[in-house]
Structure 1
Amino acid sequence: MSARLSSARTRAALRTSARVSTELLLIFVLLAVALWLLGRMWSVVWPVAIALLLTTLTWPSARFLRRHGWPPALAASVVTVAFLLTAVGVVALIAVPMSSQTDELTDGVVEGIERLRDWAAGPPLNIGDAQITSAVDTAMARVQDSVGSMVSTVATGVSAVVNGLITAILAVFLMFFFLKDGPRFLPWLTRQLPGRLSTDVPAVAARGWETLGSFVRSQALVGLLDAVFIGLGLWILGVPLVLPLAVLTFVSAFVPIVGALFAGFVAVLIALVSNGLTDALIVLAIIVVVQQLEGNVFQPMIQSRGLGLHAAVILLAVTLGGSLAGVVGTLLAVPVAALIAVVWNYVRDQLGDHAEEPAAADA
């Protein structure tokens, strides 16, 4: 009898395991299909994602105007134009001071190269002019041999720039329509969905919108902290173009990894050509320290409070997003993880409410 019971339990456990495995396999297949469809529609999904992030940044201004009697189209137009003017102003704030000192920076670059050459010629390297000339000739020969690959690389870069401009223009137009017609979306969605979905989906969408807004605000705060600390260090060292470099640091905070590397490279280069190698190394140390504080302290703490995610989850999400989709993955990893948490928390709350209802009925 015991053997029969044990055999029956084993068969039941195997059937349960097989059913669960089949369900999990089906879920993975559906996820793979969804990711494949997302990749096929990426040219549309990417501008929409950028537009949503920009809308969360500009919506408070549009909401303020709408609450004071402005028509939705006028409020959206004013906010969109103000955003474009601000973006152009930021670019001008960075470009104009740098262009006005182009000659000084060029002379500094030449002088810096000469200093590096003199340093390399002395101890302990003792690299002579003949060795440097030979190395330059070898590099030029390699460049000439790889002209074809360089041309294709340049063509790819030009194509990427063009696609980036098209994406930016489309995102701005979508931002205008989101600002203008955004409040109508949830009521329209409620009317289109049947039954329970007409309540659940709009509720999840509203929570997701709040989460995206929290992400953008926290990212702006992290960028502000980076700009203040790095700008303060540059000002103390007497490095020129402190304000443009601080603005560049703030803007680049919205592009993880690549943005920080680019802003840091520009700051170190300007410190090298204007103040010398010692100050450039100090600037590099400041940037490394600030970036470490940002990545391991500021960003996880601020975003974990604003998004309701643990700091470790944010770090793992950024790492996973970067490994799967590069820079774009690191940019979208945190908001995607936060939206997944929103859906999970809503489903858990609903299941908890339904679990309590039968218990109350039995009482």
Structure 2
Amino acid sequence: MQEKLSPRGSVYGAHLRSSAVVAIEFVAVAAALWVLAWVVGKTWVILLPVALALIVCTVLWPPVRWLRDKGVPPAAAVLLVLLVAVAVIAGVVAAVAPAIVEQSAELAEQATAGVVKVRDWLGGPPLNISEEQLNSAVAAITDRLNSSSAQIASGVFTGVGAATSALVTVFTAVVVTFFFLKDGPRFIPWLRRTVGRPAGPHLAEVFARVWATLGGFIRTQALVSLVDAVLIGIGLVILGVPLAYALAVITFIGGFIPIVGAFVAGGLAVLIALVANGPVTALIVLGIILAVQQLEGNVLQPWLQSKSMKLHAVIVLLAVTLGASTFGVIGAFLAVPVAAAVAVMVRYYLEQVAEQAGEKDAPEESEAGADEDEPSTA
């Protein structure tokens, strides 16, 4: 007996109901994400020191673990490593600060001379801007600054408050780092026991993978940034660019903000070289920075990090942009580690889905088959 076909209206209705269910689920997920973002914003003052402490722990844990393996008590090992780290940072600041103080006056004079040259260039061909027009523009800028004096003063006090908050955050991060390094190895076993089955083993595995990924990323990025800073710093010293050591330190710090950090640090170095040494030196500095960036992108990053992060450059750029627009410089710094942690969680979830669907070995078999079918390029 031939089955009677459903009317079009029934088919449309079924599709509409399915679309409505998907739409309601999408709205529910979006609302949950909005609530999560709101909670993060409200608790940011607590989450920020914890996030910074976790990143610092990934760097300091290897020497702490080595000392603990040698029989040093956990608290003493952590305290010793923290003191050494603080001493290294203080030594770098003490080495760079005098150069900044000594050369800041010279740079100010050269910047003033550069402004005069720009003014003379604007007054000559082909622009031929008259002195009255330039004076009028300067007067307009001055009036604007005077009218905004209240806002500027408010901004100064806001900056003082931000500096105080930064000190509190740094102090809290140091204290949290101490306890994380001291008691961190107990966390995953405690989490597994406390949560229990079936979620406990999954959470423990995810946290272990996130920790390994963050540790590899931070330590490798520190090594890459150090190589960039040394090579660029040597070039700046040879060319006689002022503040070469300070620029090298900025390059090292900027290396932890992929793409954007290198662009900002390189632009600052080129600008100072242009003001202090002229356009020829600035072009040479630009060439050095581009060469070092090519070395980093084509040799250091693939060799050292390989595919451990598994994040496309577009994802990295979007993560840095979102973090910077939401939480400023600190957001740009934390963007890639957070994106890497989220990527680890997503991959683990997809592994579990594939295992439950009976497809756990399918991707590996297809990749192996593709490798066998394709001709060798060796």
Aligned to 1:58: 60
**Post-superposition CA distance 1:131-180 (Å, at most 9, x none):** 44443333222211111121122222222222222111111111111111
**Post-superposition CA distance 1:188-216 (Å, at most 9, x none):** 11221122122111111111111111221
CA distance in 2, matches of 1:265, 1:5: 66
Q: Matches of residues 143-182 of structure 1 in structure 2 within 5 Å?
A: 143-182=145-184
Contact kept in structure 1, 2:192 and 2:204, CA below 8 Å: yes
Contact kept in structure 1, 2:57 and 2:180, CA below 8 Å: yes
Q: Matches of residues 127-276 of structure 1 in structure 2 within 5 Å?
A: 127=129, 129-255=131-257, 259-260=261-262, 263-264=265-266, 266-276=268-278
- 1:86 has 2:88 as partner: yes
SS in 1 for 2:347: helix
**Post-superposition CA distance 1:258-280 (Å, at most 9, x none):** 75566445534542454234323
Q: Shift of the alpha carbon at 1:76?
A: 0.7
Aligned to 2:34: 32
SS in 2 for 1:124: coil
Q: Shift of the alpha carbon at 1:253?
A: 2.4
- 1:23 has 2:12 as partner: no
CA distance in 2, matches of 1:280, 1:215: 32
SS in 1 for 2:250: helix
Q: Matches of residues 307-322 of structure 1 in structure 2 within 5 Å?
A: 307-322=309-324
User: How much is the aligned-residue C-alpha RMSD, in angstroms?
Assistant: 3.3
- Seq. identity, %: 46
Q: Shift of the alpha carbon at 1:71?
A: 0.6
CA distance in 1, matches of 2:134, 2:12: 76
Aligned to 1:334: 336
Q: Shift of the alpha carbon at 1:99?
A: 1.9
CA distance in 2, matches of 1:36, 1:50: 20
CA distance in 2, matches of 1:8, 1:166: 64
- 1:283 has 2:306 as partner: no
Cα distance, 1:294–1:8 mapped onto 2, change above 3 Å: farther
Q: Shift of the alpha carbon at 1:130?
A: 4.5
Q: Which moved more, 1:220-229 or 1:67-76?
A: 220-229
Cα distance, 1:270–1:336 mapped onto 2, change above 3 Å: closer
Aligned to 2:373: none
Cα distance, 1:182–1:141 mapped onto 2, change above 3 Å: same
Cα distance, 1:8–1:276 mapped onto 2, change above 3 Å: closer
CA distance in 1, matches of 2:126, 2:101: 38
Q: Which moved more, 1:188-197 or 1:7-16?
A: 7-16
Q: Shift of the alpha carbon at 1:297?
A: 6.1
Cα distance, 1:311–1:266 mapped onto 2, change above 3 Å: closer
**Post-superposition CA distance 1:52-104 (Å, at most 9, x none):** 11111111111111111111100110111111112212222221222233444
- 1:347 has 2:349 as partner: yes
Contact kept in structure 1, 2:110 and 2:276, CA below 8 Å: yes
Amino acid at match of 1:212: L
Q: Which moved more, 1:147-156 or 1:201-210?
A: 147-156
SS in 2 for 1:3: coil
Q: Shift of the alpha carbon at 1:20?
A: 3.9
Cα distance, 1:72–1:342 mapped onto 2, change above 3 Å: same
Unaligned runs of 5+ in 2: 360-378
CA distance in 2, matches of 1:258, 1:356: 42
SS in 1 for 2:126: coil
**Post-superposition CA distance 1:34-60 (Å, at most 9, x none):** 111111111111111111111111111
Contact kept in structure 2, 1:233 and 1:286, CA below 8 Å: yes
SS in 2 for 1:195: coil
Report the TM-score when normalising by structure 2: 0.80
Amino acid at match of 1:69: G
Cα distance, 1:257–1:310 mapped onto 2, change above 3 Å: closer
Cα distance, 1:101–1:32 mapped onto 2, change above 3 Å: closer
Q: Which moved more, 1:230-239 or 1:126-135?
A: 126-135
Amino acid at match of 1:308: K
Tell me which protein shows more helix as a share of its residues: 1
SS in 2 for 1:2: coil
CA distance in 2, matches of 1:286, 1:128: 39
Q: Shift of the alpha carbon at 1:19?
A: 3.8
CA distance in 1, matches of 2:198, 2:108: 66
CA distance in 2, matches of 1:4, 1:105: 81
